[in-house]
Amino acid sequence: MISGKLQKAINSQIQAEMYSANLYLAMSGYCMSKGLKGFANWLRVQYQEETMHALKFVDYILARGGELALKAIEEPPTSFGSPVEVFEKILAHEEHVTRLINQLHEVAVGEKDVAAQIFLQWFVTEQVEEEASASEVLEQLKLVGEKEAGLFYLDKELASRVYQPPAANA
Protein backbone atom coordinates (compact mmCIF):
# COMPACT_ATOMS: atom_id res chain seq x y z
CA MET A 1 0.00 0.00 0.00
CA ILE A 2 1.23 3.46 -0.85
CA SER A 3 1.37 6.17 1.83
CA GLY A 4 -0.93 9.17 1.58
CA LYS A 5 2.06 11.54 1.32
CA LEU A 6 3.61 9.62 -1.56
CA GLN A 7 0.24 9.20 -3.27
CA LYS A 8 -0.29 12.99 -3.16
CA ALA A 9 3.21 13.62 -4.51
CA ILE A 10 2.75 11.16 -7.39
CA ASN A 11 -0.62 12.69 -8.29
CA SER A 12 1.13 16.08 -8.46
CA GLN A 13 3.84 14.56 -10.68
CA ILE A 14 1.18 13.23 -13.05
CA GLN A 15 -0.08 16.79 -13.39
CA ALA A 16 3.47 18.01 -14.08
CA GLU A 17 4.05 15.31 -16.71
CA MET A 18 0.79 16.18 -18.47
CA TYR A 19 1.74 19.86 -18.45
CA SER A 20 5.06 18.87 -20.03
CA ALA A 21 3.20 16.92 -22.71
CA ASN A 22 0.95 19.90 -23.46
CA LEU A 23 3.92 22.28 -23.47
CA TYR A 24 5.75 20.15 -26.04
CA LEU A 25 2.65 19.79 -28.17
CA ALA A 26 2.23 23.59 -28.13
CA MET A 27 5.90 24.01 -29.05
CA SER A 28 5.48 21.47 -31.84
CA GLY A 29 2.56 23.41 -33.28
CA TYR A 30 4.54 26.63 -32.99
CA CYS A 31 7.51 25.16 -34.88
CA MET A 32 5.20 23.71 -37.53
CA SER A 33 3.67 27.15 -38.06
CA LYS A 34 7.19 28.52 -38.59
CA GLY A 35 7.95 25.92 -41.29
CA LEU A 36 10.24 23.87 -39.04
CA LYS A 37 8.72 20.44 -39.55
CA GLY A 38 11.74 18.60 -38.15
CA PHE A 39 11.70 20.62 -34.95
CA ALA A 40 7.93 20.04 -34.77
CA ASN A 41 8.52 16.29 -35.14
CA TRP A 42 11.17 16.25 -32.39
CA LEU A 43 8.75 18.03 -30.09
CA ARG A 44 5.85 15.73 -31.01
CA VAL A 45 8.02 12.79 -29.94
CA GLN A 46 8.67 14.63 -26.67
CA TYR A 47 4.90 15.00 -26.26
CA GLN A 48 4.50 11.23 -26.67
CA GLU A 49 7.25 10.53 -24.15
CA GLU A 50 5.79 12.87 -21.55
CA THR A 51 2.35 11.33 -21.97
CA MET A 52 3.88 7.90 -21.45
CA HIS A 53 5.66 9.17 -18.32
CA ALA A 54 2.34 10.34 -16.88
CA LEU A 55 0.78 6.96 -17.66
CA LYS A 56 3.63 5.13 -15.92
CA PHE A 57 2.85 7.14 -12.79
CA VAL A 58 -0.88 6.44 -13.17
CA ASP A 59 -0.25 2.71 -13.48
CA TYR A 60 2.13 2.74 -10.52
CA ILE A 61 -0.21 4.53 -8.14
CA LEU A 62 -3.05 2.17 -9.06
CA ALA A 63 -0.85 -0.93 -8.78
CA ARG A 64 0.06 0.15 -5.25
CA GLY A 65 -3.58 0.47 -4.23
CA GLY A 66 -3.50 4.26 -4.31
CA GLU A 67 -6.18 6.65 -5.43
CA LEU A 68 -5.73 8.51 -8.69
CA ALA A 69 -6.58 12.21 -8.31
CA LEU A 70 -6.09 14.01 -11.60
CA LYS A 71 -5.60 17.75 -11.32
CA ALA A 72 -6.24 20.60 -13.73
CA ILE A 73 -3.43 21.27 -16.16
CA GLU A 74 -2.26 24.81 -16.74
CA GLU A 75 -2.50 26.12 -20.29
CA PRO A 76 0.94 26.34 -21.95
CA PRO A 77 2.12 29.43 -23.84
CA THR A 78 1.62 29.65 -27.61
CA SER A 79 4.69 31.61 -28.71
CA PHE A 80 8.26 30.58 -28.03
CA GLY A 81 10.65 32.75 -30.07
CA SER A 82 13.58 31.56 -32.17
CA PRO A 83 14.66 27.91 -32.36
CA VAL A 84 17.44 28.72 -29.87
CA GLU A 85 14.89 30.25 -27.50
CA VAL A 86 12.64 27.20 -27.91
CA PHE A 87 15.45 24.86 -26.86
CA GLU A 88 16.57 27.12 -24.04
CA LYS A 89 13.01 26.85 -22.72
CA ILE A 90 13.03 23.08 -23.23
CA LEU A 91 16.30 22.67 -21.31
CA ALA A 92 15.08 24.91 -18.47
CA HIS A 93 11.84 22.92 -18.33
CA GLU A 94 13.65 19.58 -18.22
CA GLU A 95 15.88 20.88 -15.42
CA HIS A 96 12.68 21.83 -13.55
CA VAL A 97 11.25 18.33 -14.09
CA THR A 98 14.51 16.83 -12.81
CA ARG A 99 14.10 18.81 -9.60
CA LEU A 100 10.51 17.53 -9.30
CA ILE A 101 11.63 13.91 -9.76
CA ASN A 102 14.40 14.38 -7.20
CA GLN A 103 11.88 15.81 -4.72
CA LEU A 104 9.56 12.88 -5.38
CA HIS A 105 12.44 10.49 -4.73
CA GLU A 106 13.14 12.31 -1.45
CA VAL A 107 9.50 11.72 -0.42
CA ALA A 108 9.89 8.00 -1.21
CA VAL A 109 13.07 7.87 0.88
CA GLY A 110 11.38 9.73 3.73
CA GLU A 111 8.44 7.33 3.61
CA LYS A 112 10.89 4.39 3.58
CA ASP A 113 9.16 3.12 0.43
CA VAL A 114 11.82 1.01 -1.25
CA ALA A 115 9.51 -0.09 -4.07
CA ALA A 116 8.85 3.56 -4.98
CA GLN A 117 12.55 4.35 -4.84
CA ILE A 118 13.26 1.55 -7.29
CA PHE A 119 10.39 2.67 -9.54
CA LEU A 120 11.63 6.27 -9.50
CA GLN A 121 15.16 5.27 -10.51
CA TRP A 122 13.90 4.86 -14.09
CA PHE A 123 12.75 8.50 -14.06
CA VAL A 124 16.04 9.71 -12.54
CA THR A 125 17.91 8.04 -15.41
CA GLU A 126 15.37 9.30 -17.95
CA GLN A 127 15.88 12.90 -16.80
CA VAL A 128 19.62 12.64 -17.39
CA GLU A 129 18.82 11.60 -20.96
CA GLU A 130 16.16 14.31 -21.38
CA GLU A 131 18.50 17.08 -20.29
CA ALA A 132 21.35 15.74 -22.44
CA SER A 133 19.12 15.51 -25.52
CA ALA A 134 17.79 19.06 -25.15
CA SER A 135 21.27 20.39 -24.41
CA GLU A 136 22.71 18.68 -27.49
CA VAL A 137 20.18 20.28 -29.83
CA LEU A 138 20.63 23.65 -28.13
CA GLU A 139 24.41 23.49 -28.58
CA GLN A 140 23.98 22.55 -32.25
CA LEU A 141 21.64 25.50 -32.73
CA LYS A 142 24.18 27.82 -31.12
CA LEU A 143 26.89 26.49 -33.45
CA VAL A 144 24.65 27.06 -36.47
CA GLY A 145 23.92 30.62 -35.39
CA GLU A 146 22.22 32.66 -38.08
CA LYS A 147 23.23 30.34 -40.93
CA GLU A 148 20.02 29.26 -42.65
CA ALA A 149 21.68 26.27 -44.32
CA GLY A 150 22.70 24.93 -40.90
CA LEU A 151 19.20 25.43 -39.52
CA PHE A 152 17.75 23.66 -42.57
CA TYR A 153 20.14 20.73 -42.07
CA LEU A 154 19.33 20.48 -38.35
CA ASP A 155 15.60 20.61 -39.12
CA LYS A 156 16.03 17.68 -41.51
CA GLU A 157 18.03 15.80 -38.88
CA LEU A 158 15.36 16.29 -36.20
CA ALA A 159 12.70 15.06 -38.61
CA SER A 160 14.17 11.55 -38.36
CA ARG A 161 13.42 11.14 -34.65
CA VAL A 162 10.86 8.40 -33.98
CA TYR A 163 9.01 7.66 -30.74
CA GLN A 164 10.32 4.51 -29.10
CA PRO A 165 8.17 3.32 -26.19
CA PRO A 166 10.20 1.84 -23.36
CA ALA A 167 10.39 -1.90 -22.89
CA ALA A 168 7.44 -3.35 -20.99
CA ASN A 169 9.52 -3.96 -17.88
CA ALA A 170 11.11 -0.49 -17.85
pLDDT tens figures, 86-115? 999 999 999 999 999 999 999 999 999 999
Q: How confident is the model at residue 169 (pLDDT cuts 50, 70, 90)?
A: low
Which own/partner contact pairs does 97-105 have at CB distance under 8 Å and 24+ positions apart? Answer: 97/16, 97/17, 97/20, 97/127, 97/130, 98/127, 98/130, 98/131, 100/13, 100/16, 101/13, 101/127, 103/9, 104/9, 104/10, 104/13
Q: How far is CA 128 from the centre of its chain?
A: 11
Over residues 16-72, the pLDDT tens digits come to 999 999 999 999 999 999 999 999 999 999 999 999 999 999 999 999 999 999 999
Residue 145 confidence (pLDDT): 87
Over residues 106-152, the pLDDT tens digits come to 999 999 999 999 999 999 999 999 999 999 999 999 999 878 899 99
Residue 168 has pLDDT above 80, yes or no: no
Residue 170 confidence (pLDDT): 64
Residue 165 confidence (pLDDT): 86
User: CATH top-level class for 4-158?
Assistant: mainly alpha
For residue 27, which amino acid is it? M
pTM of the prediction?
0.94
Count other Cβ atoms within 10 Å, centred on residue 130.
24
In the chain, domain spans: 4-158
H helices within 64-147, ranges in order? Answer: 83-110, 114-144
